[in-house]
Structure 1
Amino acid sequence: MELPHSVSDGVATVVIRHPAKRNAMTAGMWRALPPLLDGLSADRAVRALVLTGEGDTFCAGADISTLRGSPGEAQELAVLAEEALAAFPKPTLAAVRGYCVGGGSQLAAACDLRFAEEGALFGVTPAKLGIVYPASSTRRLVALVGPATTKYLLFSGELIDADRALRTGLVDEVLPAGELGKRVAEFTRVLVSRSQLTQAAAKEFANGRTDRDAHWAAQARGSGDTAEGVAAFLERRQPRFTWSV
């Protein structure tokens, strides 16, 4: 199975594609994601990344048939892919239609932002399979929705709709049917127009890396982005930021 990807106007789009099983992730797909992200991270033309599913489903989880042989190995692959996505140094956004369940929720939670279409369904379902959800994934979920909602999702394995996901903080925006693609394109245009310096520092700080103030202060002094941003504001024009990851 493939993870098709493209780059256009500063935005990399990675597509989860496994239509026979609602875009469930196979072992090969989990393995393919970290090196793909490494390559996109190194591409200076990429300023933001969108993760989405093919068609009307984001990702229905892990392909259960791959769990029969070695469930521990399958989970390890999923965690490595999740951590690679979380570590991507540029803004990431999950664009969710339909089912976002199990491993799909792991991937969506590892993105910086999540936009969903009305009708999307979210669930974290290891309790249905007797699987211990990884500690790192649990902590990430707690950081997004708090301990009470995390327990609800993990204890029950029940699905929640997009409106409840929005209320709990699992998603950032919910769009009417047919409007998700337009809104994602609009918002990513905003992201690529902003300072990568600001974004990279903010991402580290928000993710708990609080020991790099001096590093980012030095980057700011040497970048010219601050001077450009102030000049552009005073001259009432769009800034031309040059610092890149």
Structure 2
Amino acid sequence: MSDAELTVRVDGPVATVVIHNPARRNAMTPAMWRQLPVLLDGLEADPAVRVLVLTGAAGTFCAGADLGDLDELLAAGDGSIAVAAEERLTAFGRPTVAAIEGACVGGGCQLAVACDLRLAAADARFGVPPARLGLVYPAPTTRRLAALVGPSAAKHLLFSSELVDAERALRIGLVDEVLPAGELAGRVAALTATIAERSRLTVAAAKEIIDGRADADRLAWWHAQVRDSGEAREGVAAINERRPPRFGWTPPTTH
């Protein structure tokens, strides 16, 4: 393993991407930003993968982006490799869960917000530091943060660059659950196992609709999938027969 890279492991239906850069508290280097969309493409092409977990190595989620090449960052604006990676993570076709310990700052917070769900250990700390650096936070990232926590909380984070603890993050909606020390991994495993057992059709459609990516034609397509797949009949039969459902729908390669 190199000092700075993203690693992937797949355990049954759950894929885990680990941010690994111990010398910089798991800061994302340019190579790592470019690596993420490639990894996501490969995982999305694997029909066995039903849920994705994003986490950091050695008790730290991600302390931000490596700002070594400031000129490149300034020239890129909203077209940066970080924004491209964030957008690819947001568009990933399976549910995504950020498992957060320690620092979740800057680019790390950007990645966490791009996930569908965020579970945090009690020691997690969150911050959005552009105002300390004289940078303009990317517009897609700013809008995504504001949609998640609301305009006022987003302004507080962006205007002050203050770190907030896990309990405050929970109150403002930045995270979904806060777990005591040592319990995060177990809760993430339980939640992802539950999601993996649910109807892939329901989960995929819900993600598209909530994210605003399903127009009228797409909604009609989803309802046709329900009618044609037998998924709902299987779900009802499983309840009536008091057994686990045997859902069989898989995402088509084209539609």
Q: Same fold (TM over 0.5)?
A: yes
* 220 and 14 in structure 1: CA distance in 2 versus 1, 3 angstrom threshold: same
* 74 and 96 in structure 1: CA distance in 2 versus 1, 3 angstrom threshold: farther
Structure 1, 222-231 or 98-107: larger mean CA deviation: 222-231
Matches of 1:113 and 1:84, distance apart in 2: 16
Segments of 5+ residues of structure 2 without an aligned counterpart are none
1:127 touches 1:157 (CA, 8 Å); kept in 2?
Answer: yes
Matches of 2:174 and 2:160, distance apart in 1: 17
User: CA RMSD, aligned part only?
Assistant: 1.2
SS at match of 2:65: coil
Q: 2:80 matched to 1:71? A: no
SS at match of 2:27: coil
Structure 1, 170-179 or 214-223: larger mean CA deviation: 214-223
**What TM-score results when the alignment is normalised by the length of structure 2?**
0.93
Segments of 5+ residues of structure 1 without an aligned counterpart are none
> What is the CA distance between 1:70 and its match in structure 2?
4.0
What does residue 156 of structure 1 align with? 160
Matches of 2:228 and 2:5, distance apart in 1: 41
What does residue 20 of structure 1 align with? 23
> What is the CA distance between 1:172 and its match in structure 2?
0.2
Q: 2:48 matched to 1:45? A: yes
Identity over aligned residues, as a percent? Answer: 62
What does residue 169 of structure 2 align with? 165
What stretches of structure 1 move > 3 A for 4+ residues in a row? Answer: 68-75
Residue 44 of structure 1 aligns with an amino acid whose one-letter code is P
Give the paired residue count.
245
* 82 and 150 in structure 1: CA distance in 2 versus 1, 3 angstrom threshold: same
Matches of 1:18 and 1:107, distance apart in 2: 15
SS at match of 1:138: helix
Matches of 1:15 and 1:113, distance apart in 2: 16
Residue 123 of structure 2 aligns with an amino acid whose one-letter code is G
> What is the CA distance between 1:69 and its match in structure 2?
4.7
Give 2:14's match in structure 1, choosing from 11, 14, 20.
Answer: 11
1:94-243 mapped onto 2 (5 Å cutoff): 94-211=98-215, 212-243=218-249
SS at match of 1:4: strand
SS at match of 2:118: strand
* 72 and 243 in structure 1: CA distance in 2 versus 1, 3 angstrom threshold: farther
Q: Deviations over 1:157-190 (max 9, x none)?
A: 1110000000000000000000000100011110
* 176 and 242 in structure 1: CA distance in 2 versus 1, 3 angstrom threshold: same
